Amino acid sequence: MTDTIDISINKVSQSNIGTLDVHNIPFAKIYSDHMFEADYRDGEWKNFRIVPYQNISVSPANNTLHYAITVFEGMKAYKNEDGEVLLFRPEANAKRLNISAERMCIPELPEELFMEALTTLIKLDSQWVPSVPGTSLYIRPFIFATDEYIGIRPSDTFKFMIITCPVGAYYSAPVNVKIETKFSRAFQGGTGFAKAGGNYAASLYPAKMAKAQGFDQLIWTDAETHQYIEESGTMNVMFIIDNTIITAPASGTILKGITRDSVLTLARDWGMKIEERKVTVKEIVEAAKNGTLQEAFGVGTAATIAHIARIGFEDEVYDLGPIEEREFSNKVLFELDRIKTGKVEDKFNWTLKV
The full set of domain ranges for the chain reads: 8-167, 175-340
pLDDT of 120 > 90? The answer is yes
Residues with Cβ within 8 Å of residue 332, at least 6 apart in sequence: 263, 266, 267, 305
213 SS3 class: coil
Q: Is the dihedral of CA 117, 27, 249, 341 positive or negative?
A: positive
337 SS3 class: helix
pLDDT digits (tens, 9 = 90+) for 61-84: 999 999 999 999 999 999 999 999
147 SS3 class: coil
**pTM listed for this prediction:** 0.96
Strand partners, 265: none
pLDDT digits (tens, 9 = 90+) for 3-30: 579 999 999 999 999 999 999 998 889 9
pLDDT digits (tens, 9 = 90+) for 142-201: 999 999 999 999 999 999 999 999 998 787 789 999 999 999 999 999 999 999 999 999
Q: Is 201 exposed, middle or buried (0-12, 13-18, 19+ CB in 10 A)?
A: exposed
Alpha carbons within 13 angstroms on the beta-carbon side of residue 212 total: 6
Q: Which fold has domain 175-340?
A: D-amino Acid Aminotransferase; Chain A, domain 2 (3.20.10)
Per CATH, domain 8-167 is 3.40.50.880? no
3-state helix, strand, coil in the chain (%, to 5): 25, 30, 40
Task: Name residue 78's amino acid.
Answer: Y
Distance (Å, whole) CA 66 – CA 327: 47
